[in-house]
Amino acid sequence: MLISGRGSNLKALIDACTDGRIDGRIITVVSNRPGAPGLEHARAAGIEQTVVDHRRFPDRAAFDRELAATLESSAPDLVILAGFMRVLTPEFVARFAGRMVNIHPSLLPALRGLDTHARALAAGMSTHGASVHFVTSELDGGPVIMQAQVPVCPGDTGETLAARVQLAEHRLYPAAVALICSGRVQCAGGTVLYDGQPLERPLLLDDLPEAATQCIGSP
């Protein structure tokens, strides 16, 4: 797994592996930031952690080469980006094509890029959410596996909306990774296959906590 920060999605995935919702094991956690709080979740769970500090490398390509070597030393079946805030080179993406996923805080293809919660509010959207997708060299543009929707509530700020999306993410990412680990979801030729059939639209997660789907306190 690759992280850069808080690691709440990492924690949700650790919990899902522990309680059997995911038939898989997190072998290693790599952070590009020394001291990323998420590393503590890995430590507490007894998972190997490595820091590959991007500031030590002359350019993006050199950093990505070291990152790829670090990952490949543990021969992962799946590479999971969870709040990993570095743009990856096409060479890195090609190396892990079809076996690398990301979670993005919007209902893709809407709102690729950064500051999605503020942009959802500014655009007056009534529904927002998160997406899990296979990673391609197009930023936030790979085929989407599963999404979770949350309402934009009256009085929302970027922070309150982000908190609702994150609650949804903590169900969404384990659900999507579970489908990959069970073999039901695969990526073939840039398309998501679900039970061997091309997925026409992203799966929609409906098993969300009430706090993610309700505008608490609003009429």
Query: Annotated binding site for (6R)-10-formyltetrahydrofolate, which residues?
Result: 60, 102
Q: How far is the CB of 9 from ligand GAR (least distance, A)?
A: 3
Using the rule CB under 6 A, give the single segment among 1-9, 17-25, 49-57, 208-216 that binds ligand GAR: 1-9
Residue span 80-109 as binding mask against ligand GAR, x where in contact by CB under 6 A, dash where not: --xx-------------------xxx----
Ramachandran region, residue 45 (left: φ > 0; alpha: ψ -120 to 50; beta: rest): alpha
Under rule CB under 6 A, residue 9 binds ligand GAR: yes
Among residues 41, 104, 133, 170, the one annotated as catalytic is 104
Q: Let me know: does 110 contact 104? Beta carbons within 8 Å.
A: no
Q: Pairing state of beta strands 100-104 and 185-188?
A: unpaired
Does the annotation mark 41 as catalytic?
no
CA 200 to CA 84: how far, in whole Å? 28
Q: What angle do CA 118, 158, 135 make, to 5 degrees?
A: 60
Distance from C-alpha of 33 to C-alpha of 52, rounded to nearest angstrom: 7
Nearest residue to ligand GAR by CB is 83
C-alpha neighbours within 13 Å on the C-beta side of residue 22? 22
| By CB under 6 A, residue 49 contacts ligand GAR | no
**170 is a site residue for ligand GAR (CB under 6 A):** no
Site for ligand GAR, rule CB under 6 A? 3, 5-9, 38, 82-83, 103-105, 130, 166, 169
Q: Annotated active-site positions, please?
A: 104
